[in-house]
Structure 1
Amino acid sequence: MYLNTHTYYSLRYGTIPIAMLLKLALQCNAMSLALTDINSTSVCLDFMRLASKHSIKPIVGVDFRNGAQQQFIILARCNNGLQSINEYLSSLLHLDTFAVPKRAPKIPNTFVIYPYQNDVISLNSNEYIGVKPSDLNHLKFSKWNLKLDKLVILKTVSFENKKGFNTHRLLRAIDNNTLLSKLPKTEQGEETDIMIPVEVLKEIYAEYPQIIQNTQNILERCNVQFDFDSNTPKNQKTYTNNEELDYKLLRKLAYDGLHYRYKKIGKRVFDRLEKELKIIKEKQFVSYFLINWKILKYARSKQYYYVGRGSGANSVVAYLLRITDVDPIELDLYFERFINLYRTNPPDFDLDFSWRDRNDIMNFIFKQFKHTSLIAVYNTFKYKASVRELGKVFGLPKAEIDKLSNRSFHVHQLDKLSKLVLIYSENIKGFPNYLGLHAGGILISEKPIHCYSATFLPPKGFSTVMFDMVVAEDIGLYKFDILSQRGLGKIRETVDIVKYNHPTHPAIDIHDIKRFKEDAKIKYLLRYAKAIGCFYVESPAMRMLLKKLQVDNYLGLVAASSVIRPGVSKSGMMREYIQRYRKPERRKDAHPILLDIMPETYGVMVYQEDVIKVAHYFGGLSLGEADMLRRGMSGKFRSRDEFLKVKNQFFENCKIKGHSVELTTEIWRQIESFAGYAFAKGHSASYAVESYQSLFLKAYYPLEYMVATLNNFGGFYRPEYYIHEARMNGGIIHSVHVNKSYHQNYIEEKTIFLGFMMLHSFELKNAEKIVLERTKNGLFLDLDDFIDRVAISLQQVAILIKVNAFSFTGRKKRELLWEAHMKVNNVATSHHIQTLFKTKTVSFETPKLNCNDYEDAFDEIEYYGFPLCNPFELLVQRNLNSTVTTVVENVVKPLQREVGNVATVYGYYVTAKRTYTSKGDTMYFGTFVDIQGNHIDTVHFPPVAKKFPFRGKGVYKLIGKVVEEFDCISIEILEMHKLPIIEDPRYSDTSKKITT
């Protein structure tokens, strides 16, 4: 009897989770149920999957509305009808302005239901009028009484109860960006839009049995079906339109790749290749491999750099097709992590491209493959967003909203409205808020995408389905991951800079990984963790791990890439791995079975495939069950019944095998703690390849690499730190220069000229004007010449003067600023107007203005965000007595001698990582640099973190106990004080000078 029900995927309207809607249906004896979310088909597929498990017949459609105003409902009679509904909804969503007409178009295989209206309108054979319970009194006196064959029950369900209705009103106020008290009635549903027992609903319409029968007829005639149990992928079935030809092509490409990849081809390689080809064919993954191959063949034709990673990196076929650059034979990668006969989904291929190249790759995919779409993600209400939105709805002042969102309050001190904000923020926490884009997931389907979902157009303009990757996998649509990262952009740009600046140097073969693995300079950078700017190995945590593991080889880096992942470290396994790595005698502590399964990692689970190995060999699970366990640990399926069954089976098998409950529980804890975070070994190996490429460039071309890092918007750290790193490698840093700088940073021998992109508030169009004019008509002679040739506002010229962009003139900044104010219009013309004869510039007598050397630093802080001088030079107190950290052969000698003692050091703040103790208390790991530019690592335990908080960028006096762990020195902070800097000389009479 329910033709119009909503879940909370009727965004900012409905309040019922999908499982709750089905539970309500069972309670109300509604064994047929139509899900019609507002302007959405996000959960149609999930609804059908779950409804069958509740023995409820699922019917799907869409409630088409403008805001809260219902125009009509369309229900799918069959799968073709659902496809047509999706196509129609998509056509509306793809428009710049979404607007639903009053009448539905003629869509085959559907039923259309209009809300009740007094005027009798002509209806097509598939169209009906929905009568709400509140319309029944009007019906008695309406002409519709004579057309009962076109009437159906329209009992809308949007909320579970009164509380749900109150939540709905808040969501509507958020959506309309208005105070709750000003929310119009027309923008909200009815308090009665809740589900009631079918028997009670029929009783309400008892006077009109034909309406009840009409409704029942529609429910019976709708029949949309999807096979959620089939193991057959729904991805594009063939690449060549012929399965046999596909397999022949895959086999040919694999064998052609043997000589490219291997100098000596042994039996082991042939056996592995044949085994993989057989299973790939049997599992119908041939086209999946060929599509990935085609994408990367195009990338190579455009000379795009890429990295293929994911579980597919465990495949020798992927290696031979150049999808990945990781040799699974060399690394002994676990075949069953890549693929096995029990695995239903194809292996993961995460294809990383430079952020500059990714859009072109996406365009190619959409043009090359017929049925293509991006995948959505459900962006949900989280605490801060909920509190801020609800605070505005309740009319709280900004200061109160800030206090609530930052959790800086005591509940008993809050007023009634603030308490309501907190209560309802919990109610809507986890509700879907809006549809976003998956980071890189693309569907390439055999059938049209609209067979499954409507699509919308995000800002980048690529068609996107309305469901997420989990729903896609449920129906057998497996995503292709096309991702972007800045690391590849840095590598590509460094190679280009070196080629341009050093044309006589031998060409860099950035893919010569075998040579990089043996390079002494790279080993040195790894061993002493001098990898700032390098992909995946530059963070403070990774820097310390590399030191602790004394890594200087490829396999060590592969392990470190997975060990650093959050689950591994938090479980205590990272520390245990380090212990067993450094102290061979500790390896005997490992359980014999685990040591036998994972000898390379000393019985410690480090890689994702270790979960499968332990579950299979230790826990007695089949390979299919073990893979389900691994996938379940990722969080996607943790709550599903099938995952819980596997968990129970693991414990039952361990009991039968004679493992103690304590041991089984501990092994399970280890699996559970990291399986969702750890990398597959092939994935780590792929990351390590890119790390080696960036390490090579850092080792041999450090300044060019730092310039490329800045031009690709850095990495883990702020731009200031990469400038510091360039200086530590002998670079001379020059501020923006109108005759040398480009939009991006530019290097000339050892001098790095900062680009216009580094300047806050400087407009891109002006940077383009400057470079174009300089290229076309030569260097600027002076400020007058610049003003004559570039149409630019006074404000923009002033920025350039303040950062010494005219330093080549030899004139003081204040004089130039005075002159600019006299000669430049406040509003720039759109372009420079050329005249036949050059007008003589009017000369003004500029007053003699004194400049303070510190002014440069403060102007730089204003326009770059940091000074180009050593920040220690801006302190009020310059004579700092401390334990000086002098580096001798990369060992901090004096601090090492202070281990166990309390020391005082001074450090310039770089970054801090917030984390939480087992009790939930906040603590930090800090990174500073001393006056010489060397690292200081700090630990801030909860009491100290609370008493001595970080106060932004600046130099801090650090007092703490010096500790050493695995050759890594750090300071456990007891006190931390930010030191004062001098007054801004631009607004004071300070006359001190910077000494350099």
Structure 2
Amino acid sequence: MYLNTHTYYSLRYGTLKPEELLQIASQQGVKSMALTDINSTSANLDFVRLAPKYSIKPVLGVDFRNGVQQKFILLASCNKSLLLINNYLSEFLHSEKKVIPDTAKHLINTYVIYPFQSKVFNLKPHEFIGVKPSDVNRLKFSKWQLQLNKLVILQPVSFQNKKAFNAHRLLRAIDNNTLLSKLLKTEQGEETDSMLPVETLKSLYSEYPQIIENTRRLLDSCNITFDFSNNAPKNKKTYSNNATLDFKLLKKIAYEGLNYRYKKIGERIFSRLEKELEIIKQKQFVSYFLINWRILKYARSKQYYYVGRGSGANSIVAYLLRITDVDPIELDLYFERFINLYRTNPPDFDLDFSWRDRDDIMNFVFKNFKNTSLIAVYNTFKYKASVREIGKVFGLPKEEIDKLSSGYFEVKNLDNLSRLVLVYSKMIKGFPNYLGIHPGGILISEKPIHYYTATYLPPKGFSTAMFDMVVAEDIGLYKFDILSQRGLGKIRETVDIVKYNHPTHSTIDIHDIKRFKKDEKIKYLLKNAKAIGCFYVESPAMRMLLKKLQVDNYLGLVAASSVIRPGVAKSGMMREYILRYRNPERRKEAHPILLKIMPETYGVMVYQEDVIKVAHYFGGLSLGEADMLRRGMSGKFRSRDEFMKVRNQFFENCKNKGHSLELTSEIWRQIESFAGYAFAKGHSASYAVESYQSLFLKAYYPLEYLVATLNNFGGFYRPEYYIHDARMNGGIVHPPTINKSQYQNHIEGNNIYLGFIMLESFEVKNASKIVKERQQNGLFLDLDNFIDRVPISLQQLSILIKVNAFQFTGRNKRELLWEAYMKVNKVVLEETVATLFKSEKITYKTPELSCSNFEDAFDEIQYLGFPLCSPFKLLRVPIHQKVMAKDLLNYIGKMVTVYGYYVTAKRTGTSKGDLMYFGTFVDSNGDHIDTVHFPLAAKKYPFKGRGVYKLTGKVSAEFDCVNIEIEKMEKLAIIEDPRYAEATKKITV
């Protein structure tokens, strides 16, 4: 009897989860119902998947509205008509200006339901009028009394009780950016928009049994089916429109790749290749491989750098097709992690491109393959953000909202309104707020995307499905991952910079990984953790792990890339791996079965495939069950019944094998901790390849590499730290300079000229004017010459002067500022006016003005964000540092006081939920100081932003890594800003 129900995917309107809606419907005796979210199809597939569990026949449709004003409801009688409805909704969602009309377009095999108050009178056979319970009395005096065959029950369902209705009103207020007290009635639903028992609903229409019968018949005539029991790939089935030709092409390309990849081709390689090809064919993954191959063939034709990652890196076919650069034979990668006969979904290929190239790749995919769309992600209400939003609509003052969102309060001391904010913030936590875009997921479907869902058009301009990757996989649509990362941009740009900064050097073969693996300079950087700026190995945590493991080889780095992941660390096995890595005696403590399964990692689960091996060999799970466990490890399916079945089967099998419950529980704990975090070995190996490429460039061309790092928006650290590292590598860093700087950072020899991009508040158009004018008409001679040639405002020119962009003139910048103020127009002309004769500028007698180096530093802090001099020189009281970072090994177990400039800090929680931190500083020599801030110290001595800190604590060391366990921390005062010191003195006087 329900033709108009909403879930919380009716964004900022509905309050019911899809399964919650079905649960309530089942309790109320509903046997068939229609889901009609407002201008959305996000919940449709989940609704159909879950409906049989509640013995409910699902019907799908859409509630078409302008804002909250209902225009009509469309219901699909079959899957074909659902496609038409999705097409129709997508027309509106792809156009911001297109308003939904009063009457629906005629779509074959669809039903239209207009609200009772609509002005539509001449109904077509497939059109109906919906009568709400509140409309029944009005019906007696309406012309529709004479056309009862055109009337159906229309009881909207958007929430279920008074509290949920209140949440609905809050969501509407948030959506309208208004106070709850000012929310218009027309902007919200009715309090009665909830689900009643079926018999109660029918009783409201007892005078009109025909309306009840019309509704029943309409629901009976609708039949939507999606097969979730068989989620075999629904991706594009063929690459060439012929499956036989596809397989021949795949085999041909793979065999052609043998000579490119291998110098010696033995039986092991041939047998692995044939085995993979056969399973790829059986599992119907041929087109999936070929589409990835085609995308990357295009990338190579454009000379784009890329990295292929994911479980697909375990495949020799992927290696031969140049989808990945990881040799599964060399690394003995576990074939069953990549693919097996029980696996229903294709392997993962995460294709990483430079952020500069990714959009062109996306364009290529959309132009060359039909039925293509991006995948959505559901951006949900987070608790703290909800507190702020609800606090605003309740009208709480900012101070109160700040207090509530910070969490620092006693509930018993709060007033009723503040308590309500907390109650409803918890209630809407996790509700979808708006649809975003998956970072790189693309669907290429055999059927039109609209067969499954409507699409919308985000700012990027690529059609995007209204569901996420989990829902897509449920139906058998598996994504292609086209991702971007800064690391590849850095590598590509470094190679280009080296070409012009070292023109005599031979061309760099950045793909010569085999040579890089043997390079002594790279080994030194790895072993000594001197990899700042390098992909995946530059963070403080990775730097310390590399030191602890003393890694100087490729396989060690592959393991470290996975060991650092939260899954391994959380399970406690990262520490155990380090102990076994360093101490052969410790390896004997490993369980014999686990050591036999994972000899390379000393019986410690490090990779995703280790979990599959343990599940299969230790836990006795079949490969099919182990594959289900693999999917469950992602965290997406943790709540699914099938994952719990696998867990129960694991424990049962272990019991039958004679393993103790204590051992089984511990192994399962380790497995569970991997959820969502562990890497496949091939994935780690792919990361390590890119790490080696960046390490090679950092080893041989450190300055060029660091310039490219800055131009690609850095990495783990702030730009200031990469500039510090450039100095440590012999670079001479100059502020933006009008006769040398480009828009981006630029290097000549070992001189690094910061680009105009680094200047806060400096306009891009002015940077472009300066560079263009200099290229066309030569260097600028002085300030007057610059003013003549570049139209620029006084405010923008003053930024350049203050950061010493005119230092080449040899003149004091205060004098230059004074002159600029006298000579520059307050209103800027867009173009300089060319004249036949240059008029002589009025010469002003410039007063004698002084300027200090300290003033330069404060101008740099204002416009660059950091000083170009050592921050230690800006301290109010100069320090006399006796103990330096390099000396700490001599003070193990002793209390020391050192001075360090703050670089970064990692916030984490203890097992009790208390906050603690790991800090990174550099001393005045530029060497690292690593600190540990346990909860008591962290609370008493908090970080206070950038600056030099006096650090007092006990020195500890573990596995060659030195830390200071902080007992006291004080941020040191810097000198008074000399730019305002004179004014301050005058005011004081």
Take 2:766 and 2:480, find their aligned partners in 1: how far apart are those partners? 40
Take 1:432 and 1:510, find their aligned partners in 2: how far apart are those partners? 44
What code does the residue aligned with 2:21 have? L
Take 1:792 and 1:411, find their aligned partners in 2: how far apart are those partners? 56
- The CA RMSD over aligned residues, in Å, is 1.1
SS across alignment from 2:234: coil
SS across alignment from 1:83: helix
Q: Contact (CA 8 Å) 1:882, 1:906: kept in 2 or not?
A: no
- Residue 489 of structure 1 aligns with which residue? 489
SS across alignment from 1:960: strand
Note the alpha carbon deviations across 1:447-506, whole angstroms, 9 max, x for none.
Answer: 111101100011100000000000000111000000000000000000000011212101
- Residue 908 of structure 2 aligns with which residue? 915
What code does the residue aligned with 1:368 have? N
Is 1:970 the counterpart of 2:963? The answer is yes
5+ residue gaps, structure 2, are 985-989
Match of 1:930 among 913, 923, 935: 923
Match of 1:896 among 889, 898, 902: 889
Q: Contact (CA 8 Å) 1:15, 1:159: kept in 2 or not?
A: yes
What is the deviation of 1:671? 0.3
SS across alignment from 1:905: strand
What is the deviation of 1:33? 0.9
What code does the residue aligned with 2:548 have? K
What code does the residue aligned with 2:345 have? N
SS across alignment from 2:484: strand
- Residue 230 of structure 1 aligns with which residue? 230
What is the deviation of 1:631? 1.3
What is the deviation of 1:878? 1.1
- Residue 130 of structure 2 aligns with which residue? 130
What is the deviation of 1:989? 4.2
Match of 1:982 among 975, 978, 982: 975
Take 1:53 and 1:118, find their aligned partners in 2: how far apart are those partners? 37
Take 1:718 and 1:494, find their aligned partners in 2: how far apart are those partners? 19
Is 1:905 the counterpart of 2:888? The answer is no
Q: Contact (CA 8 Å) 2:635, 2:675: kept in 1 or not?
A: no
What is the deviation of 1:410? 2.1
Q: Contact (CA 8 Å) 2:36, 2:60: kept in 1 or not?
A: yes
Q: TM-score scaled by structure 1?
A: 0.98
TM alignment of 1:1-80, pairs within 5 A: 1-80=1-80
What is the deviation of 1:775? 0.5
- Residue 761 of structure 1 aligns with which residue? 761
What is the deviation of 1:634? 1.4
Is 1:687 the counterpart of 2:703? The answer is no
Take 1:875 and 1:610, find their aligned partners in 2: how far apart are those partners? 53
Take 1:942 and 1:700, find their aligned partners in 2: how far apart are those partners? 42
The structure-2 alpha-carbon separation of the partners of 1:855 and 1:218, relative to structure 1 and needing over 3 Å to count, comes to: same
SS across alignment from 2:905: strand
- Residue 818 of structure 1 aligns with which residue? 818
Q: Contact (CA 8 Å) 2:180, 2:393: kept in 1 or not?
A: yes
- Residue 356 of structure 1 aligns with which residue? 356
Q: Contact (CA 8 Å) 2:231, 2:473: kept in 1 or not?
A: no
After alignment, is 179-188 or 629-638 more displaced? 629-638
- Residue 959 of structure 1 aligns with which residue? 952
TM alignment of 1:932-947, pairs within 5 A: 932-947=925-940
What is the deviation of 1:881? 3.7
SS across alignment from 1:906: strand
Take 2:71 and 2:60, find their aligned partners in 1: how far apart are those partners? 17
- Residue 391 of structure 2 aligns with which residue? 391
- Residue 987 of structure 2 aligns with which residue? none
- Residue 843 of structure 2 aligns with which residue? 843
Note the alpha carbon deviations across 1:592-621, whole angstroms, 9 max, x for none.
Answer: 110010000000000000110000001111
TM alignment of 1:459-858, pairs within 5 A: 459-858=459-858
Take 1:411 and 1:987, find their aligned partners in 2: how far apart are those partners? 45
What is the deviation of 1:141? 0.8
What code does the residue aligned with 1:982 have? I
SS across alignment from 1:284: coil
SS across alignment from 1:655: helix
What code does the residue aligned with 2:900 have? G
Q: Contact (CA 8 Å) 1:6, 1:157: kept in 2 or not?
A: yes
What code does the residue aligned with 2:583 have? K
Take 2:577 and 2:182, find their aligned partners in 1: how far apart are those partners? 60
TM alignment of 1:206-225, pairs within 5 A: 206-225=206-225
The structure-2 alpha-carbon separation of the partners of 1:530 and 1:808, relative to structure 1 and needing over 3 Å to count, comes to: same
The structure-2 alpha-carbon separation of the partners of 1:120 and 1:600, relative to structure 1 and needing over 3 Å to count, comes to: closer
What code does the residue aligned with 2:150 have? K
**Number of residue-to-residue matches in the alignment:** 985
Q: Contact (CA 8 Å) 1:235, 1:445: kept in 2 or not?
A: yes
TM alignment of 1:140-289, pairs within 5 A: 140-289=140-289
The structure-2 alpha-carbon separation of the partners of 1:858 and 1:979, relative to structure 1 and needing over 3 Å to count, comes to: same
SS across alignment from 1:739: coil
Q: Contact (CA 8 Å) 1:68, 1:187: kept in 2 or not?
A: yes
SS across alignment from 1:348: coil
What is the deviation of 1:674? 1.6
SS across alignment from 2:73: strand
Take 2:625 and 2:635, find their aligned partners in 1: how far apart are those partners? 16
Note the alpha carbon deviations across 1:274-310, whole angstroms, 9 max, x for none.
Answer: 0000000000000000000000000000000000000
Note the alpha carbon deviations across 1:647-670, whole angstroms, 9 max, x for none.
Answer: 111111111111110000000000
Take 2:777 and 2:227, find their aligned partners in 1: how far apart are those partners? 68
Take 1:390 and 1:104, find their aligned partners in 2: how far apart are those partners? 36
SS across alignment from 1:330: helix
Take 2:577 and 2:926, find their aligned partners in 1: how far apart are those partners? 32
What is the deviation of 1:676? 2.2
SS across alignment from 2:308: strand
What is the deviation of 1:738? 0.3
What code does the residue aligned with 2:567 have? G
Take 1:85 and 1:879, find their aligned partners in 2: how far apart are those partners? 73
SS across alignment from 2:767: helix
What is the deviation of 1:827? 3.0
Q: Contact (CA 8 Å) 1:120, 1:144: kept in 2 or not?
A: no
Take 1:443 and 1:152, find their aligned partners in 2: how far apart are those partners? 38
Take 2:389 and 2:66, find their aligned partners in 1: how far apart are those partners? 22
Take 2:572 and 2:118, find their aligned partners in 1: how far apart are those partners? 70
Q: Contact (CA 8 Å) 1:630, 1:676: kept in 2 or not?
A: no
Q: TM-score scaled by structure 2?
A: 0.99
Q: Contact (CA 8 Å) 1:153, 1:215: kept in 2 or not?
A: yes
Q: Contact (CA 8 Å) 2:378, 2:468: kept in 1 or not?
A: yes
Take 1:404 and 1:675, find their aligned partners in 2: how far apart are those partners? 32
Q: Contact (CA 8 Å) 1:577, 1:602: kept in 2 or not?
A: yes
Note the alpha carbon deviations across 1:197-216, whole angstroms, 9 max, x for none.
Answer: 11111111111011001101
Take 2:613 and 2:675, find their aligned partners in 1: how far apart are those partners? 12
After alignment, is 95-104 or 37-46 more displaced? 95-104
What is the deviation of 1:53? 2.2
Note the alpha carbon deviations across 1:187-230, whole angstroms, 9 max, x for none.
Answer: 00000001011111111111101100110111001111111112
SS across alignment from 2:329: coil
- Residue 994 of structure 1 aligns with which residue? none
Q: Contact (CA 8 Å) 2:231, 2:475: kept in 1 or not?
A: no
Note the alpha carbon deviations across 1:144-169, whole angstroms, 9 max, x for none.
Answer: 00000100000000001111100000
Take 2:275 and 2:371, find their aligned partners in 1: how far apart are those partners? 31
After alignment, is 844-853 or 6-15 more displaced? 844-853
Take 1:209 and 1:685, find their aligned partners in 2: how far apart are those partners? 69
What code does the residue aligned with 1:969 have? V
Take 1:809 and 1:699, find their aligned partners in 2: how far apart are those partners? 37
After alignment, is 222-231 or 966-975 more displaced? 222-231
SS across alignment from 1:707: helix
Note the alpha carbon deviations across 1:25-60, whole angstroms, 9 max, x for none.
Answer: 111111101000000000101100100222210000
Take 1:711 and 1:960, find their aligned partners in 2: how far apart are those partners? 38
